[in-house]
Amino acid sequence: MTDDRRYLLAFCQALPELLLVTRAQGAEAALEEAAERVRAGTPVLHVLPRLGIPPHVLTGTGPGRRAGDMLAPLPRPASGETYRCPDGACGLEVPRAPGGPIPKERCWLRNRPLTAGEA
Ligand SMILES: [Zn+2]
């Protein structure tokens, strides 16, 4: 996965949290604009500085976050389904074990639920 894709996925999954933070700062509109630009294809790393968000906040490699929090590799079940970002916007893939619970993750960038497919 390229850095762009890593940041895109991390940004997508961090959006609800970022919204809370920017709302508290009254900077909600800036985040919405940034998300809009990312949806239009702007690399996440280009919009972060305007939001005042250091990249390590997303990737979990810096202080204040558990290392690998968001980008830890997902375990692969032998079979079952994989839930994916509906249109591949952020590349999120969450495997679901046979008979296991439906993943609760969501694509926040598109604000849409994941779609199920073959693993
Ligand atoms: Zn997504």
List strands edge to edge, sheet with 93-96.
93-96, 81-84, 115-118
43: buried, middle or exposed (CB in 10 Å: 19+, 13-18, 0-12)? Answer: middle
CB-based contact 44:6 (threshold 8 Å): no
Structure tokens at 12: 């997508």
User: Comparing 110 with 65, which gets the higher pLDDT?
Assistant: 110
**What does the pLDDT read at residue 64?**
46
Ligand 1 ion local residues (Cβ < 5 A):
12, 85, 89-90, 92, 107, 109
| Cα 105 to averaged position of ligand 1 atoms, centre (Å) | 10
pLDDT tens digits, 39-81: 999 999 999 998 888 888 887 765 444 444 455 555 554 568 9
3-state secondary structure of 32: helix
**Lookup result for tokens 């969501």:** 106
| Cα 112 to averaged position of ligand 1 atoms, centre (Å) | 8
Residue 2 has pLDDT above 70, yes or no: yes
For the chain, what are the domain ranges? 3-59, 81-118
